[in-house]
Structure 1
Amino acid sequence: MRTYLWLFCFTFLLAPLFTLADIPETLLLTPSQQRYLAELIRTNPSAKTQWLKVEEEAKGYLNDAPRPLRVIHYEGLLDTDTRRIDTEKSLRDMDKLAAWLFAYYGPQDKLYAQKAKTYILAWAGTYEPTGNPINENKLEPLIHCYQTMKSYFSESEQKKVGYWLAQIAEAEISFPNMPENNWKTKQIKLVGTIGLILNREPYVVYAIEQSKGYIDKALYGDGTSRDLRQRDALSYHVSGLKPLMTLAITMDQLSENKYGLQTFNYQNPAGGSLRKSVDYVVPYALGEKTHAEWVNTKVELDRQRAAAGIAHYQPGTLYEPERSREMFELASYFAPSYQEVLRNLKNDGRNEFNSWFSVLVAAARE
């Protein structure tokens, strides 16, 4: 299997704040990158400013208790649905796990790891995987926490969490009629990340194959994507690109070989690529162009959300450039030239780091 994976990879490589419950974007860092991050916090005033916000938030959650769910009621439900509202209360656990992961990356304080462990075990003992990537993508902070803090788990606890994560990956792979849009990219990221964490090569192979297949089918030569053409919303275009970039970085972090830059630059026969689809957003991020969201959406749920009065989904709502910040921060891992776009977002070029996530990406590049 290892030979097959190497041969396939070699062939392949040649060839914001919405009304929904956003989960913080997280990144895995290697031990050496964590040490670099700690030094960056110590010596760089801009990084230190972002870190202090993280530390304050992480400490504020330490007396809380987990609120795990057996079922996540989220995808396909209006923001006003009581089931979704209750789910969002439980998904606050992921905010807390993200904060503890970020705080742990700094001083390696075991207090954060021990607290995160109680939450991870609670969710692993309660949540039943369904394979729905829109719902299960929200577990990303938990998955990254587990990989980073695995040494704090006993052998039996690791076996329990590992079995549960494998169930998630299997359910994702088996989910019927997976749409070739942001659903697919979230599924690919989940399966690939779990494969890397559990050292399950079939999952990694699946993610690599499906990444290439998605770029072939859903990213177009003019820089648009299937998400954009279906939803007429740059917000969905951006959300469909981020998971593949996050996975590519994770592959760089956890694999002997480097896949990230090749995945980012891979171009399908029609000229579509991750890089070109990121570039498509540049003039909107810089304010040179504007995009009226949802005007020609083909998705009934978008129309239902608009009819329910949800502000973000009103046809004609202008795309806000700031919503693309995390995408360009991820892209800057592969191409530092995107840092110029980041400096121009909201005309804030005074600080080297304008978000905690930008600090993480800087550490990941080392």
Structure 2
Amino acid sequence: MTKRPILNPLFLALSIVVSAPTLAASWCTNTGPGPLGQLRNEVNKQLLPQSRAIERVHTEGTLPHQGIRDQSLEAKKDWPLMRDLALLWQKQHQPGDLAALSRLLNDWGTRYKPSFNPVDETGLDAYIDAYAMTRDDLAPPIRAVAQRFIRELGEGYLNQMEHNFKPGDGRWINNWNSHRVKLATLSAVALEDPAMFARARAQFIEQLGRNLRPGGSTVDVEQRDALHYVVYDLEPLTRAAVAARLRGQNWLVFKGASDASLENALDWLAPYAKGDKTHEEFVHSHVKFDDQRREAGESGFSGLWNPQSATGLYAMATLLNPKYAAVSERLHPMGGWMAACWGR
């Protein structure tokens, strides 16, 4: 892998390009202030003088304090921080926010080496969000670093799905692949790359056929007996569909080879999210690791499924079809970065 140059964003951030942002304006549709106080408090709490950027993160398949899990969780605090800084810059235009964001975009874009483990890296959607919201305001060298990194991420996941697919390995049809699709789609839309977007769209449709059942359930719920994993399937696919709107396409109604659609799956989960139905989690899971996490006392791996875990999912689904607004409001009104980006 070619070594990427490390730049000094504290100085480069001052070279703001004055132009009319196009992608930034459409990436987030909320023209009001949103919950800026909440975002500012989070930034004040999490922002350090230096970035937390490391070469690799790994939390997938690990229990607390195993391997580099703790170090990775600490490093990952930078990822949503970048999105919060981008939203604050977009709303308030304080130079310190752009300088801090530029430092983080540069450090992670030059130091981190993608592992293409989608469970470990799904949170990098926040890096893509931050770039997309501030692209036209970033100093050209910072913009170039972010673009190279996002292209490496998106192309890498597309190449994996197109050339490394293993039919007998569940990680190529379950939630893992949904996260691959999300990162590839967001990368394509953020880079405004039609060829990459067409490839991501093809993989989205393939995943519908592999992961979703015609009646609306998912492969993961069959394997894990947990709505926790239904949400984990649908969140990345819904996020990809939200991004696809910027290309003028409605992925909510697309159907895969099994005649399943994202809309059917969201409709299937809705009665549970509203509390009309309940589900005891992981009782008949076929995955040993679920037992290990339950025994380790990790929250959410036993007892009734908590519908509040679908709050973000249905907040995004409402952007695709207002029929989900009733579910979303019943769970919790859109808040945090989503409200700052998409709220009304």
Tell me whether the two structures share a fold, i.e. TM-score over 0.5. yes
What is the CA–CA distance in structure 2 between the aligned matches of 1:144 and 1:158, rounded to whole Å? 13
Alignment partners' CA distance in 2, 1:33 and 1:124: 21
Structure 1 counterpart of 2:307, from 316, 321, 339: 321
Task: Provide the residue aligned with 1:72 in structure 2.
Answer: 57
What does 1:164-183 align with in structure 2 at a 5 Å threshold? 164-175=149-160, 176=164, 177=166, 178-183=171-176
Question: 2-side partners of 1:148 and 1:360: how far apart?
Answer: 10
* Residue of structure 1 equivalent to 2:5: none
1:297 — aligned with what? 285
Counterpart of 1:306 (choices 274, 294, 305) is: 294
Name the structure 2 match of 1:24.
none
Q: Which amino acid aligns with 2:264?
A: K
CA distance in 2, matches of 1:106, 1:222: 42
SS at match of 2:87: helix
What is the rounded CA distance, in whole Å, between the counterparts of 1:33 and 1:130 in structure 2? 27
Pair 344,89 (structure 1): closer, same or farther in 2 beyond 3 Å = same
Q: Is the 8 A contact 1:220 1:270 kept in 2?
A: yes
Q: 1:359 Cα deviation (Å)?
A: 5.2
What are structure 1's unaligned runs of at least 5 residues?
1-27, 42-46
Structure 2 counterpart of 1:143, from 122, 128, 148: 128
Whether the 8 Å CA contact 1:333–1:362 is kept in 2: the answer is no
Residue identity matched to 1:244: L
- Match of residue 187 from structure 2: 194
**1:221 aligned to which of 214, 222, 234:** 214
- Distance of aligned partners of 1:63 and 1:129 in 2 relative to their CA distance in 1, 3 Å threshold: closer
Q: Does 1:100 align with 2:88?
A: no
- Residue of structure 2 equivalent to 1:31: 25
SS in 1 for 2:300: helix
1:151-166 mapped onto 2 (5 Å cutoff): 151-166=136-151
* Structure 1: distance between partners of 2:341 and 2:141: 31
Q: Which residue of 1 aligns with 2:335?
A: 355
Offset of 1:101 from its aligned partner? 2.4
Higher mean alpha-carbon deviation, 243-252 vs 150-159, is at 150-159
Of residues 101, 113, 134 in structure 2, which corresponds to 1:116? 101
The answer to whether the 8 A contact 1:131-1:174 is kept is: no
With 167-176 and 243-252 compared, the bigger mean Cα shift is at 167-176
TM-score normalised by length of structure 2: 0.83
Question: Normalized against structure 1, the TM-score is what?
Answer: 0.78
Distance (whole Å) between structure 2 residues aligned to residue 139 and residue 123 of structure 1: 10
Deviations 1:315-346 (A, max 9, x none): xx21001111111111111211211112322x
How far apart, in 2, do the equivalents of 1:272 and 1:307 lie? Answer: 35
Change (3 A) 1:63 1:84: closer
Q: Identity across aligned pairs (percent)?
A: 22
**Which of 112, 116, 122 is residue 131 of structure 1 equivalent to?**
116
Question: Does the CA-based 8 Å contact 2:214-2:260 persist in structure 1?
Answer: yes
- Residue correspondences, number: 314
**Tell me, what secondary structure is at the counterpart of 2:322?**
coil
User: In structure 1, what is the equivalent of residue 321 of structure 2?
Assistant: 335
Q: 1:210 aligns with which of 185, 189, 203?
A: 203
Q: Alpha-carbon deviation of 1:204?
A: 1.2
Where structure 2 has 5 or more consecutive residues not aligned to the other structure, the ranges are 1-21
Residues 88 and 149 (structure 1), Cα distance of their counterparts in 2 relative to 1, 3 Å cut: same
- 1:245 matched to which residue of 2? 238
Alpha-carbon distance in 2 for matches of 1:354, 1:247:
18
Separation of aligned partners in 1, 2:76 and 2:107: 13
Determine whether 1:274 maps to 2:267: no
Query: How far is 1:182 from its partner?
Result: 1.2
**How has the CA–CA distance of structure 1 residues 169 and 277 changed in structure 2, closer, same or farther, with 3 Å as cutoff?**
same
Residue among 269, 272, 275 paired with 1:284: 272
Amino acid at match of 1:94: W
Tell me how far apart the structure 2 counterparts of residues 154 and 269 of structure 1 sit (CA, whole Å): 44
Q: Taking structure 1 as reference, are residues 158 and 106 closer, same or farther at Cα in structure 2, changes over 3 Å only?
A: closer
Instruction: Quote the offset at 1:115 in angstroms.
Output: 0.9
What per-residue deviation string (whole Å, max 9, x for no partner) do you get for residues 14-68 of structure 1? Answer: xxxxxxxxxxxxxx9742675x634x33xxxxx5xx3322233234445542111
Separation of aligned partners in 2, 1:53 and 1:239? 25
Distance 2:216 2:339 in 1: 24
- List 4+ stretches of structure 1 deviating above 6 A: none
Which residue is equivalent to 2:14? none
Q: Is the 8 A contact 1:131 1:169 kept in 2?
A: no
Q: Which residue identity lines up with residue 99 of structure 2 in the other structure?
A: Q
**Does the 8 Å CA contact 2:82/2:101 hold for their aligned counterparts?**
yes
Aligned 8 A contact 2:220 2:229 in 1: yes
User: 1:313 & 1:264 partners in 2: Cα distance?
Assistant: 29
